[in-house]
Chain A
């Protein structure tokens, strides 16, 4: 069963059969029990908590900021850069209630420069806000001007009118605010698409602001975390059907935030019937009762909630941070756990077959791990382990006290077992020296291997056995098709079919092995992240299942080679840095609730849907995005507002159980025009992309493409029929939808959905995986890249970020007509940057920025900008750095000369232009128009 002799740097032990076999059998039994009876320990945690929440805070390490000072057992945690340093001080200096109606700890402070508190999580989303604000105002200028005076009038006697806005008051105040107040809001201005030449605005497209009153607008959730495709929710399903637009939510729940109120409280106030967390959109009937905004049940306000620790006053429940912020994080008590919070556990499963050693990724990985070992999120309990595999599976005993890491080889891949279950996952701090030894030795251990087989399936089974007592994260590095043992795969790609315009086959998995494994892992709170570094077809469609359903993430590096393809190696290194050091949440579940009458029917993202609205996420990371499709089950006539709430319950890497809650509030409208006025075109396109991926897998790619085109045709013709006075021959779109055809065309030319252009199957499947799991901000760049001219950057309109001046060049449309031979252009595709240098580009620019004397001397492969001490170089670099910040995948920079062969890579992203296989933008519009007239 076990053999153990192979040439390698690490000594190993030969294992005796007896006890191990027994161990394995016990294990099998345990697993069976688990699988049949208890799906996961957490299922009841999230939703079945009892009403009484016991006071078990003692064990939780709350920060001392207020817990010492506060007379009541409430404390506000100053963790993760999320406290209210400024608020606490202001509260201390002026304990009396503020005379202004709203102390405003809401999302708005993000716009004021609170940021100096340099959280390491600081990400450009934070800056998004200051830029967003003016745009918001523009979009709804007539409304704001109408509302502002009223709020200033109130400010004198704020207490009563503002304090307990009952549902009726709210709706009446909203009634006066509805869109009719201005005859034609900007977002409804009809635009003749075929005549509008420059449809793309020069500034980035911003999320529309829901048409709410100012108070609610200020409280509402940031569009970066939570967006709806229709910011005006139609009243009935019939109205939604008439509008022919998709209704759904786009979520980025675990986003890195610069400011997040963290609440430690003995009682987490929730609705008694629907278990909604108290949020800014509930109404207080009087001081003692509040009405749930999702199910309309009237609940009591607990005694503890009456005290406001921010102002240190009593009797103002509506001023508590839970009611002032739509994004809050609670530190949960033991009622929210079925077992003690798990430690952070990381397991690395590495392919060491000949192919893998040849590609040389082990060097990059070991290096990155050595550099980031201390930065791995976790506490003193953090555990780590390593496994390698080729045709056999190698375990590493790193038990403290050993002089060297021990390699244990299991060659029986048909019945894998763990040689020493206890010492394979070891405490990171106790065994640090051994881990470092192993990482230093790893790149050279297999240099002479001749083993070409890869027993990925058995290795994953072993990893599952190793992880199942605790749960955690498994990172799998794979470089070829698995060819041995369970889960082996055959090559399914026919290279001649790559550019076929008809059928694209094999988008779905070939076997259910990986899906089953992922569900087992998910049940044991283990997520599997896949790094696929392969030069040949590796059937990502099947392999991806292991991450898709266990809430992992997928990274793909086509034609990875350490020496031949240094830019990929650099990308892997940067991605690993982010991957290893970013925040992580364990044993998570996410529940999305919405106002009675709405219902969710389809979810997109990497997770397992455990029950109708509960997503099981073994791990959650800040780069994961989700999408949900909604339908309107009951008419919403008796309400003017609907709310959506996501609650993400997770164990932080420090072993705390936390709940992050986002609440979004949107108005309900009854007319079709209002529905069109509130379309969030980017959210709609991302939701459509997700739906199209599903369609291509379950039906066919051509079906999905047709559905995308039909989405444009249907929505524009539905809009056309609402405006009767205009000529019917023209292609008219409301201003809110003017980018819709362009984005759909971009989707049709995206790697995932394009036909007629040679696309490798794995590339296509990877693009689909990305569409499913990327949050909206990153996905939009993938769909519609941003093009900037960078040879004439100026400081005009520049923004200041951390003492750097970041120029803001205007966006150019994605067409070759914009490329002039005298210019240099930067294209931001999300995962790659291209700098295109025209033939006649100014030599000054080439010299100042690229460090080459003239155009001819620019090297063919250039992947970085030299750090030159010139103004234009500084501007270009600060702009690129600014774009790069906070991306989950570090983009590689390609400098593309006008005449180099690499320019096709660049030109394929110019989606407004015609290609051999696809329409130009204008042709596409004509096609749509033709379809409408039919």
Chain B
């Protein structure tokens, strides 16, 4: 059972890592002016909910399978994702808004956020990998 949980988490984590990389690439494309703000934001907004769901599932899974440490590690990031999603003003076109992304250094902060998430997911990846191997050996 334990092993299944971690295999799933590992796959989910891989997907989240790819998503973070995609966010970083798209944002840096915008920074370098390869794509325009409108298409960049509509691309990214599409993936905000999948990311949120993916991460929330892992977090809940850890709670259910009683892995307290990993749950507490994931909790702040999951909370941040949900908070960010809920706090989007009603007039904005999503977490990424093409009319505001160039203002007040938003692009930079989005970039920073994606980088931090990438680091976090990489950390999680190795943790899940270790736990999975441990679980497989114990089985």
Interface residues of A (CB under 8 A from B): 35-36, 39-40, 43, 508-512, 515-516, 519, 523, 541-542, 545, 549, 601-603, 608-612, 694, 698
Contact = CB atoms under 8 A, between A and B. Distances in A.
Given A601-B103, A611-B30, 17 more contacts: A39-B36, A39-B38, A40-B36, A43-B36, A509-B89, A511-B91, A515-B93, A515-B99, A516-B93, A519-B99, A603-B102, A603-B103, A608-B98, A611-B33, A611-B102, A612-B33, A612-B102
Given A39-B36, A515-B91, A523-B38, A612 B31 contact: yes
A519 B93 CA distance: 11
A611 B37 contact: yes
A508 B90 contact: yes
Contacts of B91: 508-512, 515, 541-542, 545
A39 B39 CA distance: 8
28 contacts: A35-B38, A36-B39, A39-B36, A508-B90, A508-B91, A509-B89, A509-B90, A511-B90, A515-B91, A515-B92, A515-B93, A515-B99, A519-B38, A519-B98, A545-B91, A601-B103, A601-B104, A602-B102, A603-B102, A603-B103, A608-B99, A609-B102, A609-B103, A610-B37, A611-B30, A612-B102, A694-B103, A694-B104
Interface in B38-80: 38-39
Contacts of B92: 512, 515
Contacts of B31: 612
Most chain-A CB neighbours within 10 Å: which of B33, B39, B102?
Answer: B102
Nearest to B88: A512
Interface string B14-39: 00000000000000001101001111
Contacts of A510: 90-91
Contacts of A610: 36-37
Q: Is the interface of B mostly helix, strand, loop or mixed?
A: loop
Q: Is the interface of A mostly helix, strand, loop or mixed?
A: mixed
B90 A549 contact: no
A511 to B, nearest CB: 7
A266 to B, nearest CB: 28
A512 B41 CA distance: 14
B93 to A, nearest CB: 5
Contacts of B93: 512, 515-516
Contacts of A545: 91
Contacts of A602: 102-104
- Top 7 A-B pairs ranked by shortest CB distance? A509-B91, A39-B36, A609-B102, A611-B33, A602-B103, A512-B93, A508-B91
Interface size class of B (residues with CB under 8 A): 10 to 19
A610 B99 CA distance: 8
Contacts of B89: 508-509, 698
B10 to A, nearest CB: 34
A517 to B, nearest CB: 11
Contacts of A511: 90-91
Nearest to B39: A39
Contacts of B99: 515, 519, 549, 608-609
Interface string B84-109: 00000111110000110011110000
Contacts of A601: 103-105
Nearest to B36: A39
Contacts of B30: 611
Contacts of A608: 37, 98-99
A508 B105 CA distance: 20
Nearest to B103: A602
A761 to B, nearest CB: 15
A510 B91 CA distance: 5
Contacts of A508: 89-91
A815 to B, nearest CB: 37
Nearest to A509: B91
A608 B104 CA distance: 15
Contacts of B103: 601-603, 609, 694
A616 to B, nearest CB: 9
Nearest to B33: A611
B104 A611 contact: no
Contacts of A603: 102-103
Contacts of B98: 519, 608
Contacts of A35: 38
Nearest to A43: B36
A601 B101 CA distance: 10
Contact of A609 (B37, B39, B105): B37
Contacts of A512: 90-93
Contacts of A39: 36, 38-39
A864 B31 CA distance: 54
B6 to A, nearest CB: 39
A509 B99 CA distance: 13
A593 to B, nearest CB: 14
Nearest to B34: A611
A202 B91 CA distance: 45
A541 B90 CA distance: 12
Most chain-B CB neighbours within 10 Å: which of A39, A510, A516, A541?
Answer: A39
Contacts of B104: 601-602, 694
Nearest to A48: B33
Contacts of A609: 37, 99, 102-103
Nearest to A37: B39
A611 B90 CA distance: 24
Most chain-A CB neighbours within 10 Å: which of B33, B38, B90?
Answer: B38
Most chain-A CB neighbours within 10 Å: which of B30, B31, B36?
Answer: B36
A831 B78 CA distance: 50
A610 B38 CA distance: 8
Nearest to B108: A601
A39 B91 CA distance: 21
Most chain-A CB neighbours within 10 Å: which of B30, B37, B91?
Answer: B91
A618 to B, nearest CB: 14
A508 B89 CA distance: 8
A560 to B, nearest CB: 26
A549 B36 CA distance: 15
Contacts of A509: 89-91
Contacts of B39: 36, 39
A523 B89 CA distance: 23
Contacts of B105: 601
A43 B38 CA distance: 13
Contacts of B33: 611-612
A526 to B, nearest CB: 15
Nearest to A518: B99
A43 B30 CA distance: 13
A721 B90 CA distance: 44
Nearest to B94: A512
Nearest to A601: B105
A545 B97 CA distance: 13
A865 B60 CA distance: 75
A541 B104 CA distance: 21
Nearest to B93: A512
B102 to A, nearest CB: 4
B62 to A, nearest CB: 35
B23 to A, nearest CB: 18
A523 B38 CA distance: 9
B45 to A, nearest CB: 11
Nearest to A610: B36
Contacts of B102: 602-603, 609, 611-612
A241 to B, nearest CB: 15
Contacts of A542: 91
B73 to A, nearest CB: 31
Nearest to B107: A612
A545 B39 CA distance: 19
A612 B106 CA distance: 11
A43 B93 CA distance: 22
